[in-house]
Chain A
Amino acid sequence: GAGVSQSPRYKVAKRGQDVALRCDPISGHVSLFWYQQALGQGPEFLTYFQNEAQLDKSGLPSDRFFAERPEGSVSTLKIQRTQQEDSAVYLCASSFFSESSYNSPLHFGNGTRLTVT
């Protein structure tokens, strides 16, 4: 597709449920990022993939959060046993080149808004 696609657009989960958020990056993009954006805040880094390798997961807030990108394209962010504090917009971004963003800026999807009730 022309841009980064995320689904679902909105997700409402009851506390304790598991959720899976999907990201389809731009075809051929090597790097893929997940960010969490709480209401009124800037995006905060969660995790980073270079192809299928998860190179950095230091931003994942707890072991309830898990991300994968098994074939180096589509990525899934899974949250187990959701809590109210997990309510946020989850943004996915991709870029073509891993070493420098000079000629490959981040392209963001529109995000998935997760509401945990």
Chain B
Amino acid sequence: AQSVTQPDIHITVSEGASLELRCNYSYGATPYLFWYVQSPGQGLQLLLKYFSGDTLVQGIKGFEAEFKRSQSSFNLRKPSVHWSDAAEYFCAVAPMNRDDKIIFGKGTRLHILP
């Protein structure tokens, strides 16, 4: 069965430091891959998505993610975090052409130190 693993429940980084949030998936074929962000009391907002092509995907708010098929990973990165990036981040996977089957990871809560 398909699954998404986010191994870090909490991550703390200093403002201005670089960030990498890990995501591994288990799926029979190359799925669609997503990263969503959720601020407290808010719904989820799409940061970026990978469907095919260039394995380095650029998203909003200065985020990027790299799809590595050999490692079944889709890690999220940002070169310099801002205090406003503090939120919960969810990696998600869906089979091709079936966005009704999106599966979310358990999330990584990002804390930013001033």
Contact = CB atoms under 8 A, between A and B. Distances in A.
Interface of A: 4, 31, 33, 35, 40-45, 48, 55-56, 91, 93, 95, 98-102, 104-106, 108-111
Contacts of A91: 43-44
Contacts of A44: 104
B71 interface: no
A42 B102 contact: no
23 contacts: A4-B43, A31-B99, A31-B100, A41-B107, A42-B4, A42-B107, A43-B44, A43-B104, A45-B103, A55-B100, A100-B96, A101-B49, A101-B94, A101-B99, A101-B102, A102-B49, A105-B34, A105-B49, A106-B46, A106-B99, A108-B36, A108-B43, A111-B43
Contact of A108 (B32, B45, B97, B106): B45
Interface of B: 4, 32, 34, 36, 41-46, 49, 51, 90, 92, 94, 96-97, 99-107
A45 B93 CA distance: 12
A44 B101 CA distance: 10
Contacts of B51: 102
B39 to A, nearest CB: 10
B44 to A, nearest CB: 4
A105 to B, nearest CB: 4
A42 B5 CA distance: 11
A60 B15 CA distance: 41
A95 B43 contact: no
A48 B94 CA distance: 14
Contacts of B94: 101
B106 A56 contact: no
A105 B51 CA distance: 12
Contact of B100 (A43, A48, A109): A48
Contacts of B4: 42
B46 A105 contact: yes
A43 B90 CA distance: 9
B89 to A, nearest CB: 10
Which 5 pairs across A and B sit closest by C-beta, in order of nearness?
A108-B43, A42-B104, A101-B99, A48-B100, A108-B44
